[in-house]
């Protein structure tokens, strides 16, 4: 496929944080049926971001459903020291992690750690962080995606 054909592709990544957790499995099946293939799984530690948001236990219960339906899970780690969570989320069913540039001291080392766990890697920027500040480091680290909040 030519690069310009990829520009025409759009991939919507529904956020499971917006789901009704009483109907989570049903809603995932509905999204898979509608063509969703990447699911955005938000995680907050109560420190890097104020709310405490779901962890690996919930992912473990839905990961099989998503994978069996042809989907994958990108875990958005809004946490301090994200590298300390890679193993637990990989074991729970994560395919990739997206962590915040502002939460790490060495983007290259944290990216390498995620790769050692067999994970794809994204870097997120909080509102107010200059894209120029992150661009060179993200390219050098070889991240797969950049998420601008």
Domain ranges of the chain: 12-148
Measured CA to CA, the distance from residue 40 to residue 13 in angstroms comes to: 6
- 121 DSSP β-pair partners: 97
Q: What is the pLDDT of residue 11?
A: 76
Confidence (pTM) = 0.92
According to DSSP, the β-strands at 72-78 and 96-100 are parallel
* CA angle (50 as vertex; 46, 51 as ends), nearest 5: 75
Cβ distance 117 to 141 under 8 Å? no
Interval 46-96: pLDDT, tens: 999 999 999 999 999 999 999 999 999 999 999 999 999 999 999 999 999
CA distances from 130 to 49, 103, 124, 133 (A): 19, 15, 11, 5
Interval 87-143: pLDDT, tens: 999 999 999 999 999 999 999 999 999 999 999 999 999 999 999 989 999 999 999
pLDDT at 40 over 90: yes
According to DSSP, the β-strands at 120-125 and 96-100 are parallel
CATH of domain 12-148: 3.20.20.70
Residues ≥6 apart with Cβ < 8 Å to 91: 56, 60
Of 114, 20, 19, the C-alpha closest to 74 is: 114
């Amino acid at each position: 496929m030519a690069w310009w054909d990829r520009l025409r592709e759009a991939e919507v990544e529904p956020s499971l944080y917006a789901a009704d957790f009483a109907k989570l499995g049903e809603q995932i099946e509905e999204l898979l049926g509608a063509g969703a293939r990447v699911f955005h799984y938000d995680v907050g530690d109560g420190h890097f971001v104020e709310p405490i948001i779901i962890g690996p236990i919930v992912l473990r219960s839905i990961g099989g459903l998503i994978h069996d339906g042809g989907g994958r899970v990108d875990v958005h780690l809004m946490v301090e020291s994200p590298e300390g969570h890679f193993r637990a989320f990989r074991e729970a069913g994560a395919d990739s992690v997206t962590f915040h540039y502002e939460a790490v001291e060495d983007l290259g080392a944290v990216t390498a750690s995620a790769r050692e766990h067999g994970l794809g890697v994204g870097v997120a920027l909080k509102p107010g962080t200059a894209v120029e500040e992150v661009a060179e480091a993200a390219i050098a680290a070889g991240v797969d995606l950049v998420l601008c909040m």
